[in-house]
Amino acid sequence: MPVISDKLINAGVYVSVESLVKLSSTARRLSYFRARVVKQQQTGSHHSRFKGRGMEFAEVRPYQAGDDVRSIDWRVTARKQSTHTKLFQEERERPVVVICDQSASMFFGSRGCLKSVLAARCAALLSWSAYAHNDRVGGIIFNDQQLLTIKPGRNRKSILQYINHVVALNNELSAETSASAPQLNRNQQFTLALKEACQVIKPGTLIFVISDYHKLDATGERHLNTLAKHNELVLLRCTDPLEKNLPTGGALPVSDGDHTFYVRGQDEGARKVLSNWDQAITNRVEQLSRNRNVNAWELNTNLDFERQLAEISRQVSLGASSR
């Protein structure tokens, strides 16, 4: 792992293990993980939104692939001439999985911190919060060349393992290392991470996906829709003010790790292209949030990440689904 100076960490360019471990002291403030019904710790403390067999009847909906055939409501099926399934709510243990993007496009920021740092801090705080509320916590971390999976566990060791992997991939980011990654890998890693999630995550899991969603494609969208069928999915999109609105004065250097060119802020054509590109990403994420099991929110590099997560968790608890 590269040696990163405290100056760069304090400036919001990189994160350290120490800075992410410190977040454990404020973790209980997030309401995502506050139990509504409390039982014994090992049997679970959450009223699950997982759609399966349980003790309490919830509703009836059209049958979906993967539903338990024993839960088919034959009376409703006969009346509506299409297969319907009974849904139940049960108290169950809820695993939490945090998917954290540390790819090249995240190594960007104009103020506050880089998007990669914002994602790492939020991933750590969410993990500590879940752990503080007795949930099993795991994660998937990826960059342009690597994909690492941590199986959910209810112990401090699992959190520290996850944090160490996040920091390792974060500290490897630079314009030079971004340029060395094959272009094919850069475009596929987000999709591969979501595919991995579909394969390893069990139904009933609370899933956070923290990314800028620059590499979200049609296949990735299908994976997210698959995850949302039997899990609660929260999409957190990391953004920077410069991605939404170019300053009007001067020429700005822009680099993708391979090439550097200059954009004139007063160029209306360039401003429109940037605005349309950002809006297209926003539209794709918002389209996903129309699924009832999906919440989509934006995180800004220019704002305090703890306050942003606290406000999002408060809004979710009030029934809001996106912003």
For residue 10, with 0-12 CB atoms within 10 Å meaning exposed, 13-18 middle and 19 or more buried, which class applies? Answer: exposed
Neighbouring C-alpha atoms within 13 Å toward the C-beta of 168: 13
Round to whole Å and give the CA distance between 185 and 102. 13
What pLDDT is attached to residue 309?
94
161 pLDDT more than 60: yes
- H-assigned helices in the chain: 6-10, 17-21, 74-80, 115-132, 156-171, 175-180, 183-200, 218-229, 241-244, 268-289, 305-317
CB within 8 A of 185, min separation 6: which ones? 144, 145
- The string of pLDDT tens digits covering residues 213-268 is 999 999 999 999 999 998 999 999 999 998 887 777 677 776 655 667 677 767 77
For residue 269, with 0-12 CB atoms within 10 Å meaning exposed, 13-18 middle and 19 or more buried, which class applies? Answer: exposed
Q: In percent, how much of the chain has pLDDT > 70? A: 80
What average pLDDT does this structure show over 286-291? 85
Q: In percent, how much of the chain has pLDDT > 90? A: 51
What pLDDT is attached to residue 313?
84
CB within 8 A of 295, min separation 6: which ones? 232, 233, 234, 235, 289, 316, 320, 321, 322
